[in-house]
Amino acid sequence: MDLQNNDDFKYVLQDTNCVYFGRELTYAEMMDRDDIPFKFKAVINAHFMRDTDLDTKMADHIMQISDKEFSYKIFEQLKLTVRVCYKTQKKGFGGKTKEKWIHRACSLKLFCGEYRSQVDEGTVMIEDFSISKLALMALGV
């Protein structure tokens, strides 16, 4: 019998300057968790509920977001960073080619401009998201 953990990408981690969110978390799950900063919950409640359903995953919201939406402006103010990974071919010694995983953290603007279409194609995968604690503290709700 194979047991699979469906909660592998549903996590919240914090360090001294960022809060990291797993790609499978929905906004409803974020509202139920105790380890999400209260001010981010207030942002979800006050602003994101207007544009999206709470059962939407943060990754799906980012994939559909337009730069003209208010939630895009909020994510920019929070200095949202999207971590992505993808495979590349690298030539090694002796002419052998190896597959190498590249991990890159990029801003929301860079992600929407460069990587979003590649995620749709399946060549790039979203790992997680992070927001700045300092930007969250400075944001007025």
Q: Where are the beta strands (DSSP E) in the chain?
A: 12-14, 18-22, 81-91, 97-107, 124-132
The predicted model gives 108-128 an average pLDDT of 93
Count of CA atoms in the C-beta half-sphere (13 A) of 63? 18
The single-letter DSSP state of residue 106 is: E
Position 5 in a domain: no
pLDDT for 128: 94
Residue 67 sits in which domain range? 12-138
- Which segments of 49-90 does DSSP mark as H helices, in order? 49-51, 58-64, 70-77
Judged against a pLDDT cut of 50, whether residue 53 lies above it is answered with yes
Position 1 in a domain: no
Position 6 in a domain: no
- The total number of structural domains in the chain stands at 1
Judged against a pLDDT cut of 60, whether residue 9 lies above it is answered with yes
Cβ proximity of 97 and 90 under 8 Å: yes
pLDDT for 97: 86
pLDDT for 1: 45
Position 39 in a domain: yes
CATH of the domain at 107: 3.30.465.10
Judged against a pLDDT cut of 70, whether residue 88 lies above it is answered with yes
Q: Where are the beta strands (DSSP E) in 11-51?
A: 12-14, 18-22
pTM: 0.85
pLDDT for 131: 96
The predicted model gives 93-122 an average pLDDT of 91
Q: Sheet containing 12-14: give its strands across.
A: 12-14, 18-22, 124-132, 81-91, 97-107
Judged against a pLDDT cut of 90, whether residue 13 lies above it is answered with yes
Position 36 in a domain: yes
Position 3 in a domain: no
